[in-house]
A and B are shown apart, each in its own frame.
Chain A
Amino acid sequence: MTDHDLVRGAGTRLTAAAHALARVPLCVIGLPLIPLQLYAYPLILVTVGVPLLLLFTALTRQYLRLHRWWAGAVLGEEIALPYRVPANRGPMTRVRAVATDPQTWKELAFLPLNAVVGVLCGVLPATLWLGGLFGFATPVLWLLGADGLDYSGITPTVPGGFLIAPLLGAGYLAVAWWATPRLVRLHARFVRWFLAPSQTEALTHRVRELADSRADTVDAQAAELRRIERDLHDGAQARLVALGMSLGMAEELLSRDPDAARDLLVEARQSSSQALSELRDLVRGIHPPVLADRGLDGALRALALAHPLPVEVDLVLDGRPEAPVESAAYFAVAETLTNVAKHSGATSAWVRVRHENGRLGLMIGDSGRGGAEATGNGGLRGIERRLAAFDGTLGIASPVGGPTIVTMELPCALSSVKTSSSSGTA
């Protein structure tokens, strides 16, 4: 260890010790929050407890947010919020959500324990550092006449005391050097243990998320199948029935009235091409043929070509994602571009596709007026649900005045076919 390292190590440790000491009052001022919260519960009976409880809980949670923040900084990870979300904004619902949330009670236990741990972890390093330094100052003070001064039981009359005091001080400093970062981390881990979602909670949360997205997916699929069934029933099937009828009647009339038969045949031909056109639209909505043929690359470029605005496609993929993911990504981009054409007032748009860290990333930007958000049953919310089925996410950056950038991420692996294209404005 060079001198430089020594100085730097001492510097960081002293800063850490100073911070820990500064946290002592922070840990202690949390204590009044315990009685405040607990008193609010009986007061719910006389109504006034409801706002009080919500207020004190909010106060506690804000206060604990500080702890999450510093502990997260020490541990180098973000500590997530573990709270249950109330089903609605009604005050009683929120009170119930607070009271039944195990985290509320865990935090009540945390406050006194944290006061103790916080004081220990704050005072101990500071004491060790100061005490160690004092060991070097003691002999000087003795020489200046402070005979009554006692340093860890060492007095000037103890044989060799002038030597032992600084040695002892050096020992304290060594312990302080070793203990400071460990105590700080210990406290941070203690905070994390109480304030982070437990593994069970994290899993419960995940299960709830998956159950929701599965329900959405099943609903969406059922609706999709109903739509296809209806389209086939009212469209192609009906046309084929009409076609059969026209042909049958033409057969009847052929010898008696060839002109009428010819008219019927023309009608039959029209029915057949209408049926085909309807089937074509239907197929495009289920799985666009160009996507099957060319993958995302070709399909997105075809999409860009058919778009009323100039759309620039920049795609680099080392293969093709699994078909369902590919299809979800395609429809998400298609829907977003449709929104761009309909609402954004943009004069151009761009699409960027990459695959990084096991995730397919899609970005769609436009030069429009911005202000887009995923609300109600809007198109963006639909895309969000579609992506959620594959554990994908949707992000929207759309300040009023534009530009808008929609970001989508889908976890997926690629099969190995190299695809790369960067078209100019299509």
Chain B
Amino acid sequence: MRVVLGEDLVLLRDGLIRLLQAYEFDVVEAVDNGPALLKALVDHRPDVAVVDVRLPPTFTDEGLRAAIEARKRVPGLPVLVLSQYVEQLYARELLSDRAGGVGYLLKDRVSDVRQFVDAIRRVAAGGTAMDPEVITQLLARSGRDRPLATLTPREREVLSLMAEGRSNGAIAARLFVTEKAVGKHTANIFGKLALPLSEDDNRRVLAVLAYLDRL
């Protein structure tokens, strides 16, 4: 799987390259600034890009802007954005084209290597990987939403994991229940929120995120 990496700190860049190579990703290019990143993304059209939000030359949200711009030129280009902090505003911007293939994670999630690699693979496959902190923020501010308030604690748990981008199978493994049970919860959630239930994992995730973001 071909990966383009955008990270300006040498220590982190080398660490990420080593980590990705250990899991048999092919890092085709690793760049350290926004303009070079945009060029690499458009030229290589990698299977997935791993990008730091803050990059030179401005040291602001250069990486995020490059990623969004690249997705405009190459629709659906899978991008996983890493950051020292998560901002709902940025999550919304990344998700705004509703095309999927987007991830937005805190940098510390890298330390849980298996989960991190899983998130990259999910994004590469057109799925979503939202940081649990983004979802917590989304759920916190939608506290007064009527339909959400009718969810049982278990359904809320399933909803959070689903919003992070996990498939029913992954949620089942995480909650130590059968996939069938998760399917039942999912059907209940979509019923209560009045969302059309789709068979496709990715589409389900995007529907849930759109619902939460609209609140």
List A contacts of B155 (CB < 8 A): none
Contact of A276 with B60 in the complex, beta carbons under 8 Å: no
Instruction: Indicate whether A272 reaches chain B with its CB closer than 8 angstroms.
Output: yes
A293 with B85, Cβ < 8 A, contacts A269-B111, A307-B141, A308-B143 known: no
Which 6 A-B residue pairs are closest in the complex by CB-CB distance? A293-B60, A293-B61, A302-B89, A273-B108, A276-B108, A305-B88
Chain A residues with a Cβ under 8 A of chain B: 269, 272-273, 276-277, 280, 283-284, 289-290, 292-294, 298, 301-302, 305-308
Q: Is the interface of A mostly helix, strand, loop or mixed?
A: helix
In Å, the complex CA distance between A306 and B142 comes to 10
B142 nearest in chain A by CB position: A308
Contact of A290 with B87 in the complex, beta carbons under 8 Å: yes
Seed contacts A289-B84, A293-B54, A301-B89; 7 additional CB < 8 Å A-B pairs: A280-B84, A283-B85, A290-B89, A298-B89, A302-B87, A302-B88, A306-B137
B60 nearest in chain A by CB position: A293
Contact of A308 with B141 in the complex, beta carbons under 8 Å: yes
B91 nearest in chain A by CB position: A305
User: In the complex, how many angstroms separate the beta carbon of A141 from the nearest chain B beta carbon?
Assistant: 89
Instruction: Indicate whether B22 reaches chain A with its CB closer than 8 angstroms.
Output: no
User: In the complex, how many angstroms separate the beta carbon of A367 from the nearest chain B beta carbon?
Assistant: 14
- A/B interface sample: 14 pairs, CB < 8 A: A269-B112, A272-B108, A276-B106, A289-B84, A290-B87, A290-B90, A293-B60, A294-B60, A294-B89, A298-B89, A302-B88, A302-B89, A305-B88, A305-B141
The proximity string for B residues 72-87 relative to A, scoring 1 for CB distances below 8 Å and 0 otherwise, is 0000000000001101
The proximity string for B residues 133-176 relative to A, scoring 1 for CB distances below 8 Å and 0 otherwise, is 00001001101000000000000000000000000000000000
In Å, the complex CA distance between A78 and B61 comes to 49
Chain B residues with a Cβ under 8 A of chain A: 53-54, 59-61, 84-85, 87-90, 92, 106-108, 111-112, 137, 140-141, 143
In Å, the complex CA distance between A276 and B133 comes to 14
List B contacts of A284 (CB < 8 A): 85
List A contacts of B107 (CB < 8 A): 276
In Å, the complex CA distance between A308 and B92 comes to 17
List B contacts of A308 (CB < 8 A): 140-141, 143
User: In the complex, how many angstroms separate the beta carbon of A81 from the nearest chain B beta carbon?
Assistant: 47
User: In the complex, how many angstroms separate the beta carbon of A270 from the nearest chain B beta carbon?
Assistant: 9
In Å, the complex CA distance between A292 and B83 comes to 14
B61 nearest in chain A by CB position: A293
Contact of A289 with B137 in the complex, beta carbons under 8 Å: no
List A contacts of B111 (CB < 8 A): 269, 272-273
Contact of A294 with B108 in the complex, beta carbons under 8 Å: no
In Å, the complex CA distance between A294 and B60 comes to 8
Residue from the set B59, B85, B106 with the largest chain A CB neighbour count within 10 Å: B85
In Å, the complex CA distance between A273 and B105 comes to 13
List A contacts of B59 (CB < 8 A): 292
User: In the complex, how many angstroms separate the beta carbon of B141 from the nearest chain A beta carbon?
Assistant: 5
B59 nearest in chain A by CB position: A292
List B contacts of A276 (CB < 8 A): 84, 106-108
User: In the complex, how many angstroms separate the beta carbon of A243 from the nearest chain B beta carbon?
Assistant: 11
Contact of A305 with B92 in the complex, beta carbons under 8 Å: yes
Partner of A289, one of B54, B88, B106: B54
In Å, the complex CA distance between A412 and B101 comes to 43
In Å, the complex CA distance between A95 and B113 comes to 75
B92 nearest in chain A by CB position: A305
Contact of B108 with A306 in the complex, beta carbons under 8 Å: no
Contact of A289 with B85 in the complex, beta carbons under 8 Å: yes
In Å, the complex CA distance between A283 and B87 comes to 14
In Å, the complex CA distance between A276 and B107 comes to 9
User: In the complex, how many angstroms separate the beta carbon of B152 from the nearest chain A beta carbon?
Assistant: 22
User: In the complex, how many angstroms separate the beta carbon of A412 from the nearest chain B beta carbon?
Assistant: 21
List B contacts of A280 (CB < 8 A): 84-85
Contact of A294 with B143 in the complex, beta carbons under 8 Å: no
User: In the complex, how many angstroms separate the beta carbon of B106 from the nearest chain A beta carbon?
Assistant: 8
In Å, the complex CA distance between A276 and B143 comes to 28
A307 nearest in chain B by CB position: B141
B89 nearest in chain A by CB position: A302
Partner of A306, one of B60, B112, B141: B141
List A contacts of B87 (CB < 8 A): 289-290, 302
User: In the complex, how many angstroms separate the beta carbon of B101 from the nearest chain A beta carbon?
Assistant: 23
List A contacts of B61 (CB < 8 A): 293-294
In Å, the complex CA distance between A277 and B87 comes to 14
List B contacts of A307 (CB < 8 A): 141
Residue from the set B88, B92, B106, B140 with the largest chain A CB neighbour count within 10 Å: B88
User: In the complex, how many angstroms separate the beta carbon of A56 from the nearest chain B beta carbon?
Assistant: 61
In Å, the complex CA distance between A289 and B92 comes to 17
User: In the complex, how many angstroms separate the beta carbon of B90 from the nearest chain A beta carbon?
Assistant: 8
In Å, the complex CA distance between A298 and B92 comes to 12
User: In the complex, how many angstroms separate the beta carbon of B164 from the nearest chain A beta carbon?
Assistant: 16
User: In the complex, how many angstroms separate the beta carbon of B214 from the nearest chain A beta carbon?
Assistant: 10
Partner of B88, one of A273, A292, A306: A306
User: In the complex, how many angstroms separate the beta carbon of B108 from the nearest chain A beta carbon?
Assistant: 4
